Amino acid sequence: MPQIEETYDLVVVGAGHAGCEAALAAARMGLETIIFTVSMDSVAMMPCNPNVGGSSKGHLVREIDALGGEMGKNIDKTYIQSKMLNESKGPAVHSLRAQADKAEYSRAMRMTLQSTEHLTLRQAEVTQILAEGKRVIGVKTYSGGSYYAKAVILCTGVYLKARCIFGEVSYPTGPNGLQAANHLTDSLVELGIPVRRFKTGTPARIDKRSIDFSKMEEQKGDEHIVPFSFTNTEEDIKREQVSCWLTYTNEHTHAVIRDNIHRSPLFSGAIEGTGPRYCPSIEDKVMKFPDKDRHQVFIEPEGEYTNEMYVGGMSSSLPEDIQYAMYRSVPGLEHAKIVRTAYAIEYDCIDATQLKPSLEFKEFSGLFAGGQFNGSSGYEEAAAQGFMAGVNAARKIQGKAPVILDRSQAYIGVLIDDLVTKETAEPYRMMTSRAEYRLLLRQDNADLRLTDIGYEIGLIDEERYRKFNEKRDAIQKELHRLETTVVGANKTIQAFLEKAGSTPLKTALTLADLIRRPELNYEKIAEIDSERRPLTPEVVEQININLKYEGYIKRQMQQVEHFKKLEKRKIPESIDYDVIDNLRIEARQKLKAIRPASVGQASRISGVSPADISVLLIYLGK
């Protein structure tokens, strides 16, 4: 029977947050790209929480944007509430989070895909990877079509052999009842790619009309909006915002859960996959933290044109009847009507230590992977990997070296390095504490860190790059001016300082010195700085941060220099660890399994000690 045969440069399997970024990046780099989705209705779908960003995840989104990715722009178009978290803390942990209109988010991303040149969006289930020896040559769909390509990126999310479970009920489907991908795993296993099983979960959605908001605390968005994308200003995206609501579980809720815990598939053993500790179900929280007498519950709108409300903090896989009892014990939810039942979902994914830092499989040339398939969790983590996989697959086809961001450059670098280096026993989530150089990796300076790289990749256009350089120059010039402008201890200055609650001058100081004082900043010293020219708030922000936290920033920069030395020491792919005597057995096994690209990466593998690294360096010195 004749079958469809088509040829592209690149195939992307899956059109979630990873797949969309991968396909857009590659197509924009000029590669003929086809992206497959099991359903046109699930492009960039948000099957769990209705928001983008949050602590450290917001950093990822801004980095994707600085490199020329899409997520930041898309959430700016479709957000319904925006908040900067941790504003009372240091600038390194300020984190942007926006509530999304889920349907709009998905629709807008689909439209972007469909209006991008060189990009074909196709609804079909990919069932097989086509390979010649250790080189991938394309994919096959369920209907028998063959799509040949020079590279394939797997972004299958939670769809591989997906199973949704609550109580005694189990459906063989992906999220939201969408069709699971039941064949691709077999093809991977046949190719010799080991898979494992992870689990995650989501809470119920409740009909807005059945909720009594008067019993909850209103959570409004910020007045002053910071866009995710560096291409947008507040004016561009300002809009009327929608509120979220806060309520709490109580002893009654906990009693319901405890009394029925035997019916939870997690506790009965019906779920075999490993779930994330940082995103526990409500039954997990109640059982593991018996001392807590209440847990927060956030009621969040799923969009403007739906009555569905997300019950943040109460994901569950308890049976439906218990879910009703449990949700209805929460103030404001006494008469709750469930629209969608909470469930746990199990899926196949890989241990990402099979991948190189470029996200290409070590054992398969041309096969790349990104997103939840790599054992991560979260829309932002997925998008970041998808973007890098797309860029690196495209560069491989173009005969260029991969772009690897290291831990001192970006959260994306930390994320991917952790995934490909450390064996994680649970879905991996980004956290700011994972970034050892976080004072340098701020969300406010993502553009300063990464726009050059985005430009060099070819995803930042000339106009944007020019504006960026203007901003960078403005910061440099103004910092220089402040460092070299000296103010003396004259009457005007002393009077100003007294008024501002600051100590009078004993000797002359620079304007920069004044800004460094905790009680002062760039804006506050305006009246004694007559020469200043108007600057954008973004430039002023950089100036304040650079001066006020200078000591800390410099210290971290020194640490980075240290770190770079070992990163630069590359390990040849052909290295044979068996001939290096004196490596401890555990270290040898780990090094053989992970095959780190640099001595730096080797030093982060758990089970490889500093002494093993010494031995390795001696060997490499031969």
Partner 1 sequence: MFQTDTIAAIATGMTNAGIGIIRVSGEESIKIVDRIFWAKNPKKTLEKTKSYQALFGNIHDGDVIMDEAICLVMRAPNSYTTEDVVEIQCHGGMIMLRKILELVIRSGARAAEAGEFTKRAYLGGRIDITQAESVMDLIYAKNEMAARASVSQLRGNLSEKLKEIRAMILHHIAYIESALDDPENYSLEGYADALQLQLEDTIERLDMLLATADEGKIIKEGIRTVILGKPNAGKSSLLNRLLGEERAIVTEVAGTTRDTLEEDAMIQGIPLKIIDTAGIRETTDTVEKIGVDKAKNSAEDADLILYVVDGAKTLDADDRQIMELLTDRKVITIINKSDVDQVVDKQWITSNLSSPVVELSAKTGEGMQDLYECLKTMFFHGKLTMNDEVYITNVRHKQALAEAKRSLCQALDSIRGQMPEDFLTIDMMAAYEQLGYILGETLDDDLANEIFSKFCMGK
Q: Give contact residues for partner 1 (rule: CB under 8 A).
A: 49, 55-56, 85-86, 88-90, 92-93, 246, 277-280, 285, 288-289, 292, 295-296, 298, 312-313, 315, 431-434, 438-439, 518, 549, 552, 556, 562, 565-566, 581-582, 584, 606, 609-615, 617-618, 621
User: By the 8 A CB rule, do 303 and 204 touch?
Assistant: no
- The nearest distance, CB 492 to partner 1, in angstroms, is 28
Residue 172 CB partners (closer than 8 Å, separation 6+): 162, 163, 180, 182
Nearer to partner 1, 526 or 611 (CB): 611
Q: How many residues does the chain have?
A: 622
Cα 157–chain centre separation:
14
- The nearest distance, CB 595 to partner 1, in angstroms, is 20
Residue (of 418, 431, 403, 397) closest to 355 by Cα position: 418
Number of Cβ within 10 Å of residue 373's Cβ equals 32
Nearer to partner 1, 140 or 285 (CB): 285
Nearer to partner 1, 49 or 141 (CB): 49
Residue 199 gets which letter from DSSP?
A: E
Residue 529 C-beta-side C-alpha neighbours within 13 Å? 23
User: By the 8 A CB rule, do 585 and 607 touch?
Assistant: no
Nearer to partner 1, 55 or 173 (CB): 55
Greatest Cα-to-Cα distance within the chain, rounded to the nearest angstrom:
94
User: By the 8 A CB rule, do 20 and 113 touch?
Assistant: yes
Q: What is the per-residue DSSP string for 364-404?
A: SBTEEE-GGGGTB-SHHHHHHHHHHHHHHHHHHHTT-----
- The nearest distance, CB 487 to partner 1, in angstroms, is 23
- The nearest distance, CB 301 to partner 1, in angstroms, is 15
- The nearest distance, CB 232 to partner 1, in angstroms, is 25
Nearer to partner 1, 195 or 383 (CB): 383
Nearer to partner 1, 51 or 156 (CB): 51
Nearer to partner 1, 348 or 417 (CB): 417
Distance in angstroms (rounded) separating the CA atoms of residues 507 and 60: 44
Residue (of 184, 155, 180) closest to 170 by Cα position: 180
- The nearest distance, CB 332 to partner 1, in angstroms, is 17
Nearer to partner 1, 275 or 390 (CB): 275
- The nearest distance, CB 431 to partner 1, in angstroms, is 5
Nearer to partner 1, 258 or 565 (CB): 565
**Residue in the structure block whose two tokens are 């430039």:** 539
- The nearest distance, CB 294 to partner 1, in angstroms, is 11
- The nearest distance, CB 93 to partner 1, in angstroms, is 5
- The nearest distance, CB 227 to partner 1, in angstroms, is 21
| Long-range contacts formed by 575-581: CB under 8 A, 24+ apart | 580/615, 580/616, 580/619
Distance in angstroms (rounded) separating the CA atoms of residues 383 and 389: 10
Distance in angstroms (rounded) separating the CA atoms of residues 44 and 20: 7
Nearer to partner 1, 465 or 563 (CB): 563
